[in-house]
Every structure is written in structure tokens, then in C-alpha cells.
Amino acid sequence: MSETLHIIGGGMAGSEAAWQAAQAGIAVVLHEMRPKVATFAHQSGDFAEMVCSNSFRSDDDERNAVGLLHWEMRAAGGLIMGTADRHSLPAGGALAVDREAFSQAVTAALRSHPLISFADEEITELPTSGHWIVATGPLTSGALAQSIRTVTGAESLAFFDAIAPIVYAETIEMDIAWRQSRYDKGETEEERTAYINCPMTKAEYEAFIDALLAAEKTEFHEGETAGYFDGCLPIEVMAERGRETLRHGPMKPVGLTNAHKPEEKAYAVVQLRRDNALGTLYNIVGFQTKMKYGAQTSVFKMIPALQNASFARLGGIHRNTFINSPTLLDDQMRLKLRPNLRFAGQITGVEGYVESAAMGLLAGRMAAAEIRGESLPPPAPETAMGSLVNHITGGAEAKSFQPMNVNFGLFPPLEEARGGRKGRKDRYKGYTDRAKELFTQWLAAQS
């Protein structure tokens, strides 16, 4: 037990943690309750299943914090990023993947590793001995969540995460819709035409908003509150904040020209992003929803290009549990009350596939070092990974702690930017240059 690392959860964080520790020569047991115990959102028993979007977001490692995080994970030999690169799809500057091929490849890599074994079981209580990483993600089982609350003496925080619907490509009206990435972004023609755009007139948009607001919604269970993460709001919640909110959010028409009517500016545009390598499935970008299924089909078919659409998957909503990490974890991501337990992934209060996997990468490396009798400091807070782990282990305000994507606001300011005016693009490049140098030094210190 003392020489083995046990990981609870085979999502993005758990998969990456297992890979990193095993690559460091540590024996790993990966505990995953699926498919024996199902969840609302998961469709398979594969590891690193993508249950919401199929996008890892921007891949720009020079002027985007998410792209920088991609770079750091690649530099660290990350399983998640390496697999994503091999199964990428055109997405106009973003990194999107064929979700089934991606998770199947992650599963195959883990199952073929000689130092990783598997336990198909649900862990219902926090272990009291041994080396463990809890990476159970946003859908932590009720029994384990209760154990966490009992051990920490504090209620886990919760918000709701919504899933966007997926459309069969052949049912999209392409005489109305057209292919184009916003501002024609991308280096190849395939990238520049990665999205399908569905235009709406003002009258169509207004009718859509009316139907959206009136649609029957999923009810919350007793005692649950709608503490949504702002980066993944259901479209009906956005519409409730103002009739123009969607038109300035996921339905914004800027940077797009209708190929069928180039002289006519759309009032609003719904974008679809390819969801598999065959190009037969497209997800509706930013259209997470808690509408009931019957309402979804009728409301979404009000989008002219989707009037005859068939849906491979409708949207849904599920509880997303996370701990108040700034009060509970040390800078090694260990539970202060039980240092044999590390937490990683979305349960720590980071948001997003990449951020979750990055925290798994750190937890796996830190646990491996500890088992070897060593100590691995976290990366500098000027790096993407370092800024995230710093945020969740003390940098955030505990009283108002909420899930957070990586962003340059988490980074210490650049010295040359203090008290002066520096262009945003130059400033972002300064952040990434500094981060890459420091992260490279962090990796070199481990070799």
C-alpha cells in the first residue's frame, strides 16, 4: 500500500495523474465506478470521456492563457494533450477533438501501461491510509461526497453544469447555413471553414427568445440551488438576464459573412462545431440548456437552418460538486486534515477539461515524488499551471470561492507593465514568454 498510488476517478484529471505517476515509475491503481455505477452525463465506461463540449478551447500559446496551458502540458509529456493532438478536428484556432476516438485512445494507453492496474468499483469513503488522489470530478457520487463533508466538517459547494445538444450534420439546411470560422480564423481552408453558421433575422431571434423563456425547464431537487458557473450558463439563464444577452454571447454575428447573402448582415448567428472526425455530428456551440427534451426540439427547430434537424443528443443538466480548496488544501494539493489524500481536477474548483487535466498532472507528479521520498514544489505562479494551483490552494478568496478557468488575471503582473501602458497583445506575449521559461526550468529541475 505504501508504495502504490491509488487514484479515484478516471476522468481528465485521474487519467492524467495515473499516466504521470506511472511514467515516473510508480505503481498505480485507478479506481473507476463506471460503467458499473452510471452517471447522468456519461455515456460509456471509457476514461477521459468528454461529457460537455468537444473543445479544449484556444490553442494559441503566445497570447492566450488556455493555449499556454496546452503548451505546458505538452512540455510535461501530458497524456491528455498528446492524445488530443492525435485526434484533433478543424476548429478555427481552437483545439477540438473527435470525442469518442479521443477517450478510447486515452483508455487504450492507460490499459496498456505495465504499471497501471484497475479496480472497477465505487469508493464510498475517504481512505485513512495509503497514498490517494481524489479526482472524482463534478459528478462525485453521493456517498463519497458525504464522506468528504464529514471529514472536512464543511459543506461541499455545488453549481450546475449544462450539456449542449448534438445535431446530425445531414439534417442541417445548408442552403441557409454556411461554413466559416469567425473572422476566417485558421491557417488552412479546413480551419477557416470549421464552423457551420445558422443565421437569424431580428424577428426570428425575438421569436426564439420568447419561446426560450416560455419553455418548460428541468426542476431542481429540494435543497439544490442554481449556483451556475458563468462560463457555462444555460442559454435560458442568459436570456433571462436580458433579451440581447445571447446576441452578444454565443449567438453574436460579428466576424461572419453569410455566403448565401453576403450583403445582408445576420441579426444573430448560431454556430455549430464538428463533434467527430467523420463530420457527421455537430454540437451547438454555447447552447448548454436545462430545458426539458420536448421543449428543446421545438425551440431549437425555430432556428431556420435547424428546422428539420435530428438530434444525436439533447442537452441536459447535472450537479457539479467542488470543495472549498483554499481552506482545505495545502500547496501540495493535499487535504490538510488528511495529508495522505490529494485532490485534483474539477472537484478542486478549476473549470474546464484542460484545467482539470493540468491539476491531475501536478497531483500525479507530486504524489510520485512523495512516494520516492522527495518533495516537488509547484510550478512558479507566473506559469499557467502554477497560477491555477496557487489560486485553488490559497490565492482565491475562500468566502467567495468559485470555479475558475485559467486566465491571465491569475498571473502576477509583468514588471514592465506596472505603472505604464503596454498593448494587450504585447502584454499577453510577455506573460507567455515568462511562463515558458519558468516552466521549462521547473521541468529541468526534475530530470
Residues placed in the known binding site: 9-14
**Residue 79 DSSP symbol:** H
Three-point CA angle 290, 212, 223, nearest 5°: 35
- Calculate Rg over the CA atoms of the chain: 22
Longest Cα–Cα distance in the chain: 69
Angle between the 293-300 and 202-214 helix axes, to the nearest 10 degrees? Answer: 170
Cα distances from 168 to residues 200, 300, 318, 354, 416, in angstroms, run: 20, 13, 24, 27, 50
Residues annotated in a binding site for FAD: 9-14
Which letter, b or e, does each residue of 243-253 get, where b requires 16 or more Cβ atoms within 10 Å of its Cβ? Answer: eebbbeebbeb
**Residue 126 DSSP symbol:** -
Q: How many CB atoms lie within 10 A of CB 55?
A: 23
Task: Using the structure block, give the residue that is written with the C-alpha cell 497514498.
Answer: 131
Q: Taking the C-alpha atoms of 110, 115, 121 and 127 in order, what is their torsion angle to the nearest 10 degrees?
A: -130
Q: How far is CA 248 from the centre of its chain?
A: 22
Q: How far is CA 295 from the centre of its chain?
A: 27
